[in-house]
Amino acid sequence: MKKSLLLILFTFIHLFMEGQRTHLQVYNTDNGLPQNSVKDIIKDKYGFIWLTTENGIVRYDGSSFLVYKNFPLNSQRFTHFYGSVENDSIFTTGEYEKNILLHDKFPKITPLKNHSTVVYRNKKKYLLSCSHYSFASTGIGFFMNVANGRYFLLNNALIYSDFRSKREQRLNLQPLYKNASTIFALKDLLFYVDPITKNIITIKDGKIIGSFKNSLLSDHKTRIFWSQVNHQLFALNRGTIYICQYQDNELKLSKLVTLQDVKDENFMSIYFDKKYKKLFLGSSIDGLRILSFQDFTTVKRPSSNHESVFYSILPYSDSSVITTFGEVYSRSGLLENKNFKNTSPYFLDREENGNIIYLHEDHIKIYSKTSGDERIIRTKSLLLKDFFISNHQYFALFKDIKNPDGPEFNGVLAIYKDQSFNAVEKKIFFKNEPTKFIRLNQEYVLVGTVKCLYKISLKTNKIYKLTGNKELSIRNIIKTKDGNIWITTLGQGFYLLKNDRIIKMPYDADGNISSSHTLLEDAKGFFWISTNNGLYKVLETELLKYAQNKKHRIYYCRFSKDAGFNTNEFNGGSNIAGNRLKNGEFVLPSLNGLIFFDPLKIKSFYPENFYVERALVDNKEKNFKEKIYISQESNRLDLFIDVPYYSNLDNLVIEAKLSDFPNAKWENIGKDRKFSVSNLGYGHHIFMVRMLVSDDGKFIYKKIKIIIPPYFYQTFWFKIFLTGLFFLFIYFLVKWRISFLQKKNHELEEIVNSRTKILSDTVEKLEITKGKLHKEIEQQKKLIGTITHDITTPVKFIALTAKEILDQENFDEKRAGKILNSIYKSSDQLYNFTLTLKEYADIYSHHISDKTELYSLFQLIEEKKILFDEIAEKNNTLIQNNVDESLQLWISKNILSAIVHNLIDNSVKYTENGTITIENCIENENIILKITDTGIGMDEKKIEYYTRLQDNIENEKLLLQKYGMGLHLVLQLLQMIGGKIIFTKNEPQGTSFKLILLNKK
């Protein structure tokens, strides 16, 4: 299996390298390297190229160099690589045997341990030999590691030590001959060049397994470049580099390239990248050279006196084309020359029989491919622009040049019956200079001009303008195998014609596709579009997706000079701007040569992976994995996207965005592959990167977390704490407010209760007052009724008596005196009665508006005593005031004064030669006022009447006429102040009046 793979690889490399053109790039201290001596070259498992120099280690990604030269070592000089690419453990050693490990895309110092470049055997020191790097002088041994053991190289012997069995096998060879190495390795095979016999001996696991001859390898002028870690072997002889593959038990050499004007003795290291077809050459003084093997072949005209500017070309054979000069070219160069003279470079076509049509000055020439004869066809003032044959009809597109001084040319579409261009079936005229036309179907023809696109009906000769008011300079009209029509223009891109509507396709990143000449469709569905600045490749299906959805992104693959062109400017403006040959090759004319290529063999290179692991934080480098932590004090963050990619950088599509920003859009990363952000706020930000990895628009994505720790006052817990404090504050505020409101409510309730109580008391008082008033009103009604009844009798008596006097003419003096005495008594009685009523009325009105005040009961009694003393003296009666002088009363003074006045008045009237005693005492809350006399006293009937009247004064009938007004008035007044009276008949004579009074405000 391994032999078969090696055979296939060898055959591929042999075929690929034969006759290949190369593109050279040179790098030194002027453009990226830290030093001009490149000692060794290797490619790690991630795709990065690493170089060792005398001033550090360099990582190359196809675009830029990343230099590591600040290791804590005494020297930054490094030599060869060793280790394992597959295990991601590549080592290199500095001058003082301090290893640098290349692991996970970064170098770091590591202890020697099992990867030492020095071992000891039998007290002798051996140095590691793993590449062609220079050997030391004789006397120093070397060792070489293979999978199952180790070789020790001496001046006169090769010793193999097996790792498992520990056995040693000695081979009598001279691996070190005259201070030069005669042994090299390819994987686990060792090859020994016998300096005497020139045989090349193959050794495996300490045994010679064969030998062979190879004059090139045994030539003393041949330099062998080998590297165990790269598994590559090269031979450099007289400026030519060969790659060696082990096949059929020997090494087969295939020529890679012959170097021009290069001193091969300066080369120190070689690495060939099979994927990208690039050869890396490290020099001791000239830095790094990168040779790119090109897939495109450019053929120029052989004569140095002729410019290699080509326009219209036509397939001539399966592998060749003919130009308007009559020159026939293949990939190998000029094959033959038909010597077309004075031809127009913009038109070339053929008839059905294969004869070639070209323009000679102002007429058409037809060249016979079989006989070589030529015939001329005159077209007067018409210049042929395009031509095709369909259904045995000859369609020709002309530019009318009969008025060369006019500002514009007109166009003519002519249909001929035969190839003589004489028998015209139809002519259709239109404005504007024509450029290209094709037959759309049986009825319609599409015609492109320098200003618009026409659709012409062959049945009605009607012309339809498909571009509307928009001016388009049509370069070419192409119908692809799926029936779609594509339009290329000068300066305005290219279009899809669908249902008589043109749909513009998007530009490439640099806008070069705006001036597109033609497009060729390969067997895989790719369009190859030639422009004024490069050749572009794109899938037709992707373009059709864009036509359906303008949001669909189109990514073009660009090929430029480093792919094998002499110039990036292709040519159009002719009727045929590109050919598809029967052998599968495409041929395109350019400003400097014809471009031959097989589209199915041209690979579009896309990167396989990318890495975001480096950053500059405020211009300080920082490495990270998936997450990067930066502080809020950082002003600028530069994130680097590392991509190992060794092809055209125009085709490297990397886009990035910060996904946590609203309306974030994918931004194209520039060729410096750096994304810069500044003044990010604290938190977790997501940096998203995507990279195009296929022709059909497939991307791979990666996410990087940018973590900016917050200040303590920005943390979640601090916010929780603040929120807690806030809610605690709100809680206490609400609680205080509730307490305040409760207190206020309580106060208001107390006020309301107080006022309610006052109102209740007032209402109660009003109810009481109402009751009292009601009682008083009823009593007054009763009193008034009684008064009315009682006052009627004396008044009537007086009236009758007066009438009797008036009616009697003669009456004696005795009778007159008796009548007048009766009138006097009745009038006096009536006077006293009305006087008593007036006093009662005054007291009642005063009681209603009376404001209670504190006064002395003794003084009140004393005032009444003084009032009645004179009357009492006439009756020989003594009034004694024994009331407590300190006693103060709140009882209505007017009412109590009237009561006391009436009672003393009664006692004085009915007491002679006796005493009237007034005294007081206190029982519980009541004040007892007692008036005792020694008069005639009240009879039992009066006492019983007044006692019963006092208990039921509202319902009892008042006997005013019988008992007078005095005590009735006293009872009424006592009721007003809530007092009572007890009548007691004294022994042996007299009456006691006991007043029970409630003393309160």
- Strand 158-162 relative to strand 363-367, pairing: unpaired
Q: Side by side, which strands form the sheet with 611-617?
A: 620-623, 611-617, 636-642, 674-678
Q: Are 282 and 51 in contact (CB under 8 A)?
A: yes
Q: How far apart are CA 744 and CA 305, in angstroms?
A: 114
Number of residues assigned to the chain: 1001
Residues 6+ apart with CB under 8 A from 331: 297, 299, 319, 585, 596
A 10 A CB-CB count for 12 gives: 12
Is residue 699 predicted with pLDDT exceeding 60?
yes
pLDDT category, 963, cuts 50, 70, 90?
Answer: low
Instruction: Please report, as a single letter, which amino acid is at residue 23.
Output: H
Nearest to 157 by CA among 122, 188, 192: 192
Residues 6+ apart with CB under 8 A from 555: 538, 542, 653, 692, 697
Of 245-259, 357-371, 595-609, minimum mean pLDDT range: 357-371
Nearest to 935 by CA among 880, 872, 989: 989
**Coil, strand or helix: which one is 20?**
coil
Q: How far apart are CA 37 and CA 79, in angstroms?
A: 10
The reply to whether omega before 988 is within 30° of 0 (cis) is: yes
How far from the centroid of its chain's Cα atoms is residue 564's Cα? 45
pLDDT category, 964, cuts 50, 70, 90?
Answer: low
> For residue 844, what pLDDT is reported?
57
What does the pLDDT average to over 163-192?
86
> For residue 1, what pLDDT is reported?
37
Phi/psi for 653 (5° steps) reads -110, 110
Q: How far apart are CA 524 and CA 547, in angstroms?
A: 20
A 10 A CB-CB count for 450 gives: 19
Is residue 914 predicted with pLDDT exceeding 50?
yes
Nearest to 957 by CA among 809, 834, 779, 837: 779
Structure token digits, residue 334: 């000029």
Q: Please tell me the pTM assigned to this model.
A: 0.71
Print the SS3 string covering 900-914: HHHHHHHHHHCCCCC
How far from the centroid of its chain's Cα atoms is residue 712's Cα? 24
Angle at 883 between CA 881 and CA 887, to 5 degrees: 145
- CB-side neighbour CA atoms (13 Å) of 163: 8
> For residue 903, what pLDDT is reported?
86
- Exposed / middle / buried, residue 485 (Cβ in 10 Å: 0-12, 13-18, 19+): middle
Q: Are 324 and 290 in contact (CB under 8 A)?
A: no
Instruction: Please report, as a single letter, which amino acid is at residue 879.
Output: I
Nearest to 395 by CA among 418, 424, 415, 378: 415
Residues pairing with 343 in the sheet: 360
pLDDT category, 490, cuts 50, 70, 90?
Answer: very high
Report the percentage of the chain scoring pLDDT > 90: 48
* Residue 666 or 806, more confident: 666
Q: How far apart are CA 759 and CA 533, in angstroms?
A: 106
Q: How far apart are CA 773 and CA 347, in angstroms?
A: 138
Q: Are 675 and 666 in contact (CB under 8 A)?
A: no
Q: How far apart are CA 326 and CA 594, in angstroms?
A: 14
Print the SS3 string covering 756-812: HHHHHHHHHHHHHHHHHHHHHHHHHHHHHHHHHHHHHHHHHHHHHHHHHHHHCCCCC
What does the pLDDT average to over 912-924?
90
Is residue 830 predicted with pLDDT exceeding 90?
no
Nearest to 21 by CA among 244, 281, 332: 332
> For residue 371, what pLDDT is reported?
84
Q: What is the mean pLDDT of the chain?
A: 85
pLDDT category, 16, cuts 50, 70, 90?
Answer: very low
What does the pLDDT average to over 450-456?
94
Residues 6+ apart with CB under 8 A from 858: 881, 883, 884, 885, 887
The pLDDT tens digits of the residues spanning 193-237 come to 998 899 999 999 999 999 999 999 999 889 999 999 999 999 999
Nearest to 605 by CA among 667, 557, 677, 572: 557
Is residue 355 predicted with pLDDT exceeding 50?
yes
Q: How far apart are CA 247 and CA 220, in angstroms?
A: 23
Question: For the chain, how many helices (H) and strands (E)?
Answer: 10, 72
> For residue 466, what pLDDT is reported?
94
Is residue 405 predicted with pLDDT exceeding 90?
no
Q: Side by side, which strands form the sheet with 89-94?
A: 78-84, 89-94, 99-103, 106-109
Q: Side by side, which strands form the sheet with 654-658?
A: 627-629, 699-708, 683-692, 654-658, 667-668
- Written as one string, the DSSP assignment of 417-439 is SSTTS-SEEEEEEESS-EEEEEE
Is residue 314 predicted with pLDDT exceeding 50?
yes
> For residue 173, what pLDDT is reported?
87
Q: Side by side, which strands form the sheet with 382-390?
A: 382-390, 393-400, 410-416, 424-430
Is residue 46 predicted with pLDDT exceeding 90?
yes
Angle at 210 between CA 208 and CA 213, to 5 degrees: 125
DSSP letter assigned to residue 131: B
Is residue 783 predicted with pLDDT exceeding 70?
no
> For residue 19, what pLDDT is reported?
46
Q: How far apart are CA 274 and CA 262, in angstroms?
A: 23
Structure token digits, residue 533: 């600045």
Is residue 806 predicted with pLDDT exceeding 80?
no
> For residue 12, what pLDDT is reported?
38
Q: How far apart are CA 623 and CA 579, in angstroms?
A: 52
Structure token digits, residue 683: 């938190």
Is residue 353 predicted with pLDDT exceeding 90?
no
Which of 17-31, 692-706, 731-745 is the most confident on average? Answer: 692-706
Which of 1-5, 88-92, 791-795 is the most confident on average? Answer: 88-92
- Exposed / middle / buried, residue 591 (Cβ in 10 Å: 0-12, 13-18, 19+): middle
**Would you say the C-alpha torsion 171, 177, 182, 188 has a positive or negative sign?**
positive
What does the pLDDT average to over 592-618?
94
Structure token digits, residue 917: 């005693």
pLDDT category, 789, cuts 50, 70, 90?
Answer: very low
Q: Side by side, which strands form the sheet with 199-204?
A: 183-186, 189-193, 199-204, 207-213
Q: How far apart are CA 820 and CA 408, in angstroms?
A: 163
> For residue 696, what pLDDT is reported?
87
Residues pairing with 380 in the sheet: none
What does the pLDDT average to over 397-412?
77
Is residue 351 predicted with pLDDT exceeding 90?
no
Of 40-44, 400-404, 896-900, minimum mean pLDDT range: 400-404
Is residue 568 predicted with pLDDT exceeding 90?
yes
pLDDT category, 331, cuts 50, 70, 90?
Answer: very high
Q: How far apart are CA 575 and CA 379, in angstroms?
A: 18
DSSP letter assigned to residue 561: G
pLDDT category, 13, cuts 50, 70, 90?
Answer: very low
Print the SS3 string covering 192-254: EECCCCCEEEEEECCEEEEEEECHHHHCCCCEEEEECCCCEEEEEECCEEEEEEEECCEEEEE
Nearest to 527 by CA among 594, 491, 517: 517
